[in-house]
Amino acid sequence: MTLELDGLTHRYGSERALNDVSLALEDGELVALLGPSGCGKTTVVQAIAGHLDPASGRVSLRGTDVTGVPPEDRNVGIVFQSPTLYPHMTVGENVAYGLESGDLTAGQVSGRVDRYLELVELADRRDASPKSLSGGEARRVELARALAPEPDVLLLDEPLSALDKGLRARLRDEIVRIQRETGVTTLFVTHDQEDAMSVADRLVVLRDGVVVAAGPPRRLYESPPNRFVASFLGRSNELSARVESDESSTVTIGGAEVALDEVPSEVTDTARATVHIRPSDLTVEAATQPDGTSGVTRDALDRSGASADGGQSDDRSRALEMRGTVTRVRDVGRRYDVRVELDLGEVVTVEMHRDKLSQSDRVTVSAAASDLSVFLVSN
Amino acid sequence: MSLVDATRSVTNSRRLPPLLAFGLLGGILLVYFALPFVAFLGRTGSVPVVETLLQAGSRTAIRNSLLTAPVATAIATVLGVPLAYVLARETFPGKRLIEALVVLPLVVPPVVGGAMLLSVVGRFTPIGAAAARVGVPVTDSLLGVVLAQTFVAAPFVVITARAGFGAVDERLEQASRSLGYGPIATFRRVSLPLASRAIVAGVVLTFARAIGEFGATMMVAYNPRTMPTRIWVDFIAGGIDAIVPLALALLAVTLVVVVTVQRFAGVPTVVDR
């Protein structure tokens, strides 16, 4: 285990920042620590780097307890959200800075600087001033500076947040490439679920200083362990539901009943619950209704969700059906976001790929039981 | 043409500089700065400057000032810059009190400050008496001058350096720590160079204040004479014209030091662009 946090707890004054945070990084792993701003991510980074003394808990690097060890003796590389290149040194001097504190000869330092500047593809900017670099270049030099001393762990604290969108995606790929090439154990801290999911081998989700989920990104996305993860990892519709655990064993959602055994959930007791459905997992069709004027007969208007699965959309898998009225169709470029107010008052958003509906159309919204995530409401 | 019409036609024909009113108000102040300066320098001819400066009394005063002010500035810098760094970086109970203490010498009139110093190191206090007994009298000595100058001038370097350190992002220091440098090495290699301009500015201000210090010096060490105390003595004896030479010399010394320090210590922070 390269990095291990054990029961890390910290508070700023009376405010609790971290509560019993434990996580472990295997050698060479790229783990994303994901959470909304103010959830304690930076506190975790500061505690690992040694810039903060946690109230309790343990930080171990390569099996050694380093909780009381000052930052300079930890061998942890760090890249902050805001640029921290030294303006009074050249790019090369910045990268050499972390090497000169060790016992390398001048020649070794110079060779290492060249190698790491090449790694980030900025070898030709060695004598430049940091001020002359673009935002993306500055980030890469910071990566080179953090990596040059060959740290046990690399901490990236929101490394992309200050960049614009296109650059962000490019640098994200760049970080993954560099991480693969160097094999450095990396903790990538971000509030952006897209960044986190696209770079990480494993996700750790932090909320209000508590780890609420950990696991492979795809698994957390598809079967979120709790409501927070369901809504934080990608977009999600939340509907209230009631679970009947008597002989019928059904979940009642928006007036429709779904057999409980078809729904992936561990809910058993009679209880109030919430159901999460991803907008892309919902299908919307013009309603077939006796009082309908058009009398459209269940023509599927948008089958993108089903066709992507190879047309396995038989009636049985569309277990949940709810009636509603379209309140808004928003064109967001790649798709349309259709907002439907269900007859029972709740509102859902459905992603469509064709624009066939307009406001105040009567529709049927349906979803496969396997795409539902049911969570108990505890209070 | 009525006033309104006149105003309107001006507005229409040519746009007034947007900060004209500000400039006018500031201009009054500038004139007020410059006028005494010019009027004073206008008296230069009435007394032979060089001859006066070569007299024994003037030469001693110049020498004393040139001995004491740099020492006071050095003391203020060596003790003040670390204090500034602590104030910029740490939070601790009673910090507000410490900060108030730092500006206290600025708020207290120098004459009163001198009196306060006397109440600690005066000839009849335990410290003053002990110092006199071992042969280093604190009052009426160059040491007394240095103490008075340090007391009055040191806050400048503390306040300015503190602002300089405050402007250095703490993350730059954290990055340095994570790159293998301890707190002292980080201070020397990162914080100090990055705050150097502010510190130099503070040193210059402190020196200018120290070499011109009169009120506290007069209380603690009226003798030996420094340039400001000598100016006072000359003024009592011979009026304004009598002090022109020394005043010019004081001005010149201060200017030379300010310009030189800024030229040489204004550490270049920009590498090639």
> What span, in angstroms and rounded, lies between the C-alpha atoms of A82 and A87?
14
Q: If interface means Cβ-Cβ distance under 8 Å, which residues of chain A face chain B?
A: 49-51, 70-72, 74, 76-78, 80, 82, 84, 86-90, 97-98, 101-102, 127-129, 131-132, 145-146, 149
Residue B272 covered by a domain: no
Specify whether B71 is located in the same domain as B198: yes
What's residue A299's pLDDT?
41
Residue partners of A236: CB distance under 8 A and separation at least 6: A230, A276, A277, A278, A279
Specify whether B6 is located in the same domain as B107: no
* Structure tokens given for A142: 């910071």
As averages over each run of 10 residues, the pLDDT of chain A (379 residues) reads 92 87 94 91 94 93 93 94 93 96 92 95 94 93 95 94 87 93 95 90 93 91 86 84 68 73 58 82 75 41 41 52 87 87 86 82 84 74
Specify whether B207 is located in the same domain as B248: yes
> What span, in angstroms and rounded, lies between the C-alpha atoms of B160 and B78?
14
What's residue A304's pLDDT?
41
State pLDDT tens for residues B190-216.
999 999 989 998 999 999 999 999 999
Specify whether B215 is located in the same domain as B116: yes
Residues from chain A that touch B179, judged by Cβ atoms under 8 A, are 72, 97-98, 101, 145-146, 149
Q: Are residues A279 and A335 in contact, defined by beta-carbon separation less than 8 angstroms?
A: no
CATH of A279-368, one of 1.10.10.10, 2.30.40.10, 2.60.40.10, 2.40.50.140: 2.40.50.140
Specify whether B76 is located in the same domain as B199: yes
Residue B135 covered by a domain: yes
Tell if the CB–CB gap between B177 and A72 is shorter than 8 Å: yes
Pairing of strands A30-34, A202-207: parallel
Q: How many CB atoms lie within 10 A of CB A18?
A: 28
Residue span(s) of chain A under CATH 3.40.50.300 come to 3-222
Residue B71 covered by a domain: yes
> What span, in angstroms and rounded, lies between the C-alpha atoms of A232 and B68?
67
Model-level ipTM above the cut of 0.85: no
Mutate to test the interface with A, among B90, B173, B177, B199 (most CBs of A within 10 A): B177
Specify whether B5 is located in the same domain as B109: no
> What span, in angstroms and rounded, lies between the C-alpha atoms of A283 and A312?
14
State pLDDT tens for residues B37-64.
999 988 887 788 888 899 999 999 999 9
Specify whether B166 is located in the same domain as B213: yes
Specify whether B7 is located in the same domain as B56: no
The residue among A36, A55, A42, A54 whose CA lies nearest residue A207 is A36
Nearest CA in chain A to B267: A88
Q: How many CB atoms lie within 10 A of CB B41?
A: 13
Specify whether B161 is located in the same domain as B93: yes
Mean pLDDT is lowest, of A185-189, A305-309, B77-81, B112-116, for A305-309
Nearest CA in chain B to A90: B271
> What span, in angstroms and rounded, lies between the C-alpha atoms of A341 and A359?
11
How many domains would you assign to chain B? 2
* CATH topology assigned to domain A3-222: Rossmann fold (3.40.50)
The residue among A205, A134, A129, A206 whose CA lies nearest residue A170 is A134
Q: If interface means Cβ-Cβ distance under 8 Å, which residues of chain B face chain A?
A: 169, 171-172, 174-182, 185, 189-190, 193-194, 267, 269-273
CA dihedral (A112, A118, A122, A128) positive or negative? positive
CA dihedral (A180, A181, A183, A187) positive or negative? negative
Nearest CA in chain B to A91: B271
Specify whether B207 is located in the same domain as B127: yes
Mean pLDDT is lowest, of A289-298, B69-78, B118-127, B211-220, for A289-298
Tell if the CB–CB gap between B181 and A51 is shorter than 8 Å: no
HSE of A120, CA atoms in CB hemisphere, 13 A: 27
Nearest by CB to B190, from A86, A127, A128: name it.
A86
Residue B29 covered by a domain: yes
Strand partners, A252: A242, A257
The values of phi and psi at residue A227, to 5°, are -60, -40
Residue span(s) of chain A under CATH 2.40.50.140 come to 279-368
Q: What predicted TM-score, i.e. pTM, was given to this entire model?
A: 0.80
How distant, in Å, are the alpha carbons of A74, A76, A77, B79 from that of A151? 9, 5, 5, 37
Specify whether B165 is located in the same domain as B249: yes
Question: pLDDT tier at B31 (50, 70, 90 boundaries)?
Answer: very high
Pairing of strands A210-215, A237-244: unpaired
Specify whether B190 is located in the same domain as B66: yes
Tell if the CB–CB gap between A82 and B169 is shorter than 8 Å: yes
Tell me the residue range of the domain where B32 lies: 1-41
